[in-house]
């Protein structure tokens, strides 16, 4: 049974039982505790917590949620049951059926006849576990379902009590296991061997709220949830493993094709008796799928957050392939294969295929350059180590290769072995652990738990806000809620910072990149300045305001008034964003997809997924197309329709957004631009005014940003630029149209003058070297030039002079030491003739010794080295110490 059929059977089973089918949410949700959705229940958290009423008929839902867990990336492939990406099929009951209903639903699907839509598993091979003291669940399994008591086992909080790992909903659970047979391990049920007995379904009886705690079980139960709920999770990949008759999740129809392609690319066989190679194959298969799904949801590689996780996954793929023998690029065939296997379950992959490939290939090429630089750095370190007679690369050097150069430790180990060297892994591991501890501390600081929106639940459920701001900027409203300092109040007074909830509002709440409206709430002499508007539960508008004059009571009828100038500027910027997006896709093609935006009066920024820097010609073409659309006076139409109809119209959606059944489509100029958007817009494109594209920049690997002004801000920008050009033209006595040529001429003349000054300066310095060489003194076995030069000679010039003095003394064993105070610091350089080097002099070591006297450091080769220090007052002491050292 193929994986997509398993998904279909699961969904059909619960839809027939009255559950609402809920599409998978994006892997990226607005949750401060999570980088990625890591469990099927995450999108339903507000309903479990009682903050919002479930919008599902009968209070029942089912979903197959895509999930990513990345806490133990290094462990992937070592076991054959865990993946970083997985599909969690679940059924959810919000205050409806509880333990008995969940158990019956699961059992009937698992053991039901395949002809009737079930999975057809042998009930004699199913075992269950329950929480230690959950007699109710154990009784249902034995007395209602008929599972023999010897196949019902009890486990503690570590195994049979579920939470997300952060404060939030939790409860005891009952897990269902499948006995794979004696060839997989010993008898005795899940307690005896969880390899033979594979967990396939977890039924969570969600009834409590947990507090903070570092470990599973190390937390306090804070209280009961408003309702007893059901949250279940069936591992799609594990069921596929059983129904397809394969040993592990890497052998299923989704991942085995990737392993086969990797074997072709590397010339190494999988499952050929080399455990280390098998782990690498599994890493490639697992990470290819996870990376592809993360890119699908709009993430691009970077050095922080989700982007860092993606970069790490992609680089582990490339690293593993190289260790298996790959010599060229591997990402394209691997990504194509995983997209082929996953598209039946996720059809949206097809339309994003080119973009996914572009991001993955760009990272592969960037990492190839990283490997080159890391290899060069390793060769330098290894060469210096061998020259000094050492045999072990320090843990600090290995960590620097890993952390600074992105060079994987296993490649460092392999290259060290090839060079006949060891690596101090104890020190490396210590440095890695220190880094992990810092990361965990930072992550813990960011885990703020769940925002408690239960305060607003009554309004969300009973009095959702009516938004009339698309058509009106002023509207009367009733004050149905006042919140001050996190508490409901009945009145507020002058100077109070307050949240005002109205039954109807014309003010736009921040969403879709558009900043919230500014405005006022008025009644009599009372004035509240609204400086922000936010949504809660997508239904309630919360006006954050300051009471400027008077006071306000609950139940008062007021007038809500949008700042017209603010709204006008915001509408111009938001509509201009749509035009720039359309122009961008005309110039760069369909793979340039929006990845985020910000619109406020007069200004916009637009982030998009693209790997290459835009040329000046491309940027100019985008600006031209955008302003041509403004000049065309396109009508801006809005259409309320179903999500399916909007997609059929070709409307583009944003990554990471979850849309309802009814959506708003904004159409500009017919096919020119059509997007799903809930923002406010001008009526015709000409009302935007001129659009000034300021430039583009990188915001991470595979992501670019365009910034622009609109309306009067564009006019001001163009006016300022024109005034600047006019002033330059007057100053240079050149017509404006000839300014570029004139400035180029002046720039070239300036460069020539700077070069001439540099040459003159060099000649002046070198003119002193003959006198310095003539002052050479005999110290021990060497000729020594040790001079404290006047202030202001920098390290580069000292190096040049020392090198020239050495050349004048190349008939003997000579050492040249020159130092100067430059910019409040000590600069110094040391050179040694070949005869001195042969006699044992090492300029690099002398520089380090000198540096101790000036609170500095330096380095270089045996014949030439340089350094700097913070204490120029120690120069003379350094020269004296060096002279004494040469005397022996």
**Which DSSP string corresponds to 159-208?**
HHEEE-SSSEEEEEEEEEEEE--GGGS-SS-TTT-TTTEEEEEEEEEEEE
**Where residue 683 falls among pLDDT bands split at 50, 70, 90?**
very high
pLDDT digits (tens, 9 = 90+) for 703-742: 889 999 999 999 999 888 888 888 888 888 888 788 888 8
Contact 783, 848 (CB under 8 A): no
* DSSP for 634-696, written as a single string: -BEEEEEEEHHHHHHHT-B--TT----SEEEEEEETGGGEEEE--S---SBGGGG--EEEEEE
**Where residue 432 falls among pLDDT bands split at 50, 70, 90?**
confident
pLDDT digits (tens, 9 = 90+) for 171-187: 999 999 999 999 999 99
What is the residue extent of each domain of the chain?
3-246, 254-368, 454-560, 567-720, 771-886
Q: Is 209 exposed, middle or buried (0-12, 13-18, 19+ CB in 10 A)?
A: buried
Evaluated on CA atoms 717, 720, 726, 728, the torsion sign reads: negative
Q: Does domain 567-720 have CATH number 3.30.980.10?
A: yes
- Residue 655 scores a pLDDT above 70: no
**Where residue 32 falls among pLDDT bands split at 50, 70, 90?**
low
Q: How far is CA 404 from CA 303, 304, 396, 428, 431, in A?
A: 11, 14, 11, 14, 13
- Residue 449 scores a pLDDT above 60: no
Contact 347, 332 (CB under 8 A): no
pLDDT digits (tens, 9 = 90+) for 141-171: 999 999 999 999 999 988 899 886 777 788 9
What is the distance between the alpha carbons of residues 99 and 118, in angstroms, rounded to a whole number?
21
Q: How far is CA 707 from CA 575, 607, 609, 784, in A?
A: 14, 9, 15, 60
Strands 126-131, 152-155: pairing is parallel
pLDDT digits (tens, 9 = 90+) for 752-775: 888 888 778 777 777 788 889 988
What is the distance between the alpha carbons of residues 777 and 775, in angstroms, rounded to a whole number?
6
What is the distance between the alpha carbons of residues 530 and 550, in angstroms, rounded to a whole number?
15
What the block records as the tokens of 102 is 């969940």
**Where residue 215 falls among pLDDT bands split at 50, 70, 90?**
low
- Residue 793 scores a pLDDT above 80: yes
Return the closest-CA partner of residue 580 out of 549, 532, 548, 614. 614
Contact 646, 674 (CB under 8 A): no
What is the distance between the alpha carbons of residues 312 and 393, in angstroms, rounded to a whole number?
24
**Where residue 660 falls among pLDDT bands split at 50, 70, 90?**
low
Strands 662-668, 673-676: pairing is antiparallel
**What number is the average pLDDT over the span 684-705?**
88
Q: What is the pLDDT of residue 209?
A: 86
What the block records as the tokens of 668 is 């500009």
Does the annotation place 578 within a ligand binding site? yes
- CATH architecture of residue range(s) 771-886: Roll (3.10)
pTM over 0.75: no
What is the distance between the alpha carbons of residues 117 and 133, in angstroms, rounded to a whole number?
34
**What number is the average pLDDT over the span 607-613?**
85
Q: What is the CATH number of domain 454-560?
A: 2.40.30.130
Q: What is the pLDDT of residue 451?
A: 45
49 SS3 class: coil
**What number is the average pLDDT over the span 828-838?**
94
What is the distance between the alpha carbons of residues 594 and 677, in angstroms, rounded to a whole number?
13
What is the distance between the alpha carbons of residues 576 and 626, in angstroms, rounded to a whole number?
8
Measured torsion, CA atoms of residues 509, 514, 515, 519, in degrees rounded to the nearest 10:
-60
Contact 568, 494 (CB under 8 A): no
- Of 3.40.640.10, 3.30.930.10, 3.30.420.40, 1.20.1250.20, the CATH number of 3-246 is 3.30.930.10
What is the distance between the alpha carbons of residues 635 and 529, in angstroms, rounded to a whole number?
34
Q: Which residues lie below 8 Å from residue 799, measured CB to CB, with a gap of 6+?
A: 829, 864, 866
Does the annotation place 574 within a ligand binding site? yes
pLDDT digits (tens, 9 = 90+) for 335-358: 999 999 999 999 999 988 988 998
List the Cα angle 769/770/776 in 5-degree steps: 90
**What number is the average pLDDT over the span 47-60?**
82
- Winning range, highest mean pLDDT, from 64-78, 238-252, 353-367: 238-252
Computed over every residue of the chain, the mean pLDDT equals 88
What is the distance between the alpha carbons of residues 120 and 771, in angstroms, rounded to a whole number?
97
What is the distance between the alpha carbons of residues 415 and 381, in angstroms, rounded to a whole number?
12
Contact 228, 98 (CB under 8 A): yes
List the Cα angle 519/524/529 in 5-degree steps: 20
**Where residue 601 falls among pLDDT bands split at 50, 70, 90?**
very high
């Amino acid at each position: 049974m193929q994986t997509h059929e398993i998904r279909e059977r699961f969904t059909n089973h619960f839809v027939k039982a009255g559950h609402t089918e809920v599409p998978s949410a994006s892997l990226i949700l607005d949750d401060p505790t999570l980088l990625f959705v890591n469990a099927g229940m995450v999108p339903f958290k507000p309903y479990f917590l009682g903050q919002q009423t479930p919008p599902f008929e009968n209070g029942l839902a089912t979903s197959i949620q895509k999930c990513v867990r990345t806490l133990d990336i290094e462990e992937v492939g070592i076991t054959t049951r865990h993946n970083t990406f997985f599909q969690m099929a679940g059924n959810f009951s919000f205050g409806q059926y509880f333990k008995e209903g969940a158990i019956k639903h699961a059992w009937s699907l698992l053991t039901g006849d395949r002809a009737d839509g079930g999975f057809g598993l042998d009930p004699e091979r199913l075992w269950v576990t329950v929480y230690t003291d959950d007699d109710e669940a154990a009784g249902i399994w034995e007395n209602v379902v008929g599972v023999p008591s010897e196949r019902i086992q009890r486990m503690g909080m570590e195994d049979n009590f579920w939470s997300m790992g952060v404060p939030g909903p939790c409860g005891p659970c009952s897990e269902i296991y499948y006995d794979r047979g004696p060839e997989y391990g010993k008898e005795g049920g899940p307690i005896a061997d969880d390899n033979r007995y594979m967990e396939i379904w977890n039924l969570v009886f969600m009834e409590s709220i947990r507090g903070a705690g570092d470990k599973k079980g190390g937390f306090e139960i804070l209280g009961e949830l408003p309702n007893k709920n059901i949250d279940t999770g069936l591992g799609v990949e594990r069921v596929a493993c059983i129904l397809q008759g394969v040993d592990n999740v890497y052998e299923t129809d989704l991942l085995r094709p990737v392993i086969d392609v990797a074997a072709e690319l590397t010339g190494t066989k999988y499952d050929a008796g080399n455990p280390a190679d098998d782990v690498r194959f599994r890493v490639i298969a697992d990470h290819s799928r996870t990376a592809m799904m993360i890119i699908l949801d709009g993430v691009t590689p970077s050095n922080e957050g989700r982007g860092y996780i993606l970069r790490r996954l992609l680089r582990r793929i490339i690293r593993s392939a190289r260790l298996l023998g790959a010599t060229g690029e591997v990402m394209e065939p691997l990504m194509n294969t995983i997209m082929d296997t996953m598209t039946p379950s996720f059809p949206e992959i097809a339309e994003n295929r080119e973009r996914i490939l572009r991001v993955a290939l760009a990272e592969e090429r960037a990492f190839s350059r990283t490997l080159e630089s890391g290899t060069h750095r390793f060769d330098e370190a290894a060469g210096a180590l061998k020259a000094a007679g050492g045999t072990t690369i320090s843990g600090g050097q290995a960590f620097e290769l890993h952390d600074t150069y992105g060079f994987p430790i296993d490649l460092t180990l392999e290259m060290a072995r090839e060079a006949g060297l060891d690596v101090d892994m104890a020190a490396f591991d210590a440095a890695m652990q220190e880094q992990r501890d810092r990361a965990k501390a930072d992550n813990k600081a960011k885990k703020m738990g769940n925002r408690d929106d239960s305060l607003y639940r009554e309004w969300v459920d009973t009095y959702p806000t009516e938004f009339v701001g698309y058509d009106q900027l002023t509207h009367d409203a009733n004050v149905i809620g006042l919140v001050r300092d996190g508490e409901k109040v009945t009145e507020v007074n002058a100077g109070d910072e307050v949240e005002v909830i109205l039954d109807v509002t014309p003010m736009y709440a921040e969403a879709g990149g558009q900043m919230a409206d500014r405005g006022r709430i008025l009644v009599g002499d009372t004035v509240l300045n609204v400086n922000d508007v936010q949504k809660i539960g997508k239904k309630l508008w919360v006006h954050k305001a300051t009471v400027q004059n008077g006071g306000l009571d609950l139940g008062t009828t007021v007038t809500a008034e949008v700042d017209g100038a603010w709204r006008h500027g915001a509408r111009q910027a938001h509509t201009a964003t749509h035009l720039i997006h359309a122009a961008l896709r005309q110039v760069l093609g369909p793979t340039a997809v929006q990845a985020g935006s910000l619109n406020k009066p007069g200004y916009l920024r637009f982030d998009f997924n693209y790997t290459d820097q835009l040329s000046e010609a491309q940027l100019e073409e985008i600006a031209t197309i955008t302003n041509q659309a403004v000049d065309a006076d396109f009508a801006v139409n809005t259409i309320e329709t179903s999500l399916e109809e909007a997609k059929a119209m070709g409307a583009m959606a944003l990554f990471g957004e979850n849309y309802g059944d009814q959506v708003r489509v904004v159409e500009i100029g017919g096919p020119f631009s059509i997007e799903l958007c809930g923002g406010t817009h001008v009526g015709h494109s000409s009302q935007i005014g001129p659009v000034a594209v300021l430039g583009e920049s990188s915001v991470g690997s595979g992501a670019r940003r365009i910034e622009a002004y609109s309306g009067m801000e564009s006019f001001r920008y163009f006016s300022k630029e024109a005034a600047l050009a006019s002033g330059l033209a007057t100053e240079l006595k050149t017509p404006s149209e000839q300014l570029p040529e004139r400035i180029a001429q002046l720039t070239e003349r300036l460069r020539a003058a700077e070069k001439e000054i540099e040459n003159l300066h060099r000649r002046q310095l070198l003119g002193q070297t003959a006198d310095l060489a003539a002052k050479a003194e005999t110290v021990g076995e060497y000729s020594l030039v040790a001079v404290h030069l006047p202030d202001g000679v920098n390290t580069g010039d000292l190096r040049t002079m020392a090198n020239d003095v050495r050349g004048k003394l190349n008939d003997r064993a000579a050492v040249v030491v020159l130092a100067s105070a430059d910019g409040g610091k000590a600069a110094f350089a040391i050179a040694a003739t070949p005869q001195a080097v042969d006699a044992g002099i090492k300029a690099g070591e002398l520089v380090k010794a000198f540096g101790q006297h000036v609170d500095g450091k330096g380095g270089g080769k045996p014949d030439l080295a340089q350094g700097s220090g913070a204490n120029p007052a120690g120069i003379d002491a350094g020269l004296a110490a060096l002279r004494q050292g040469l005397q022996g």
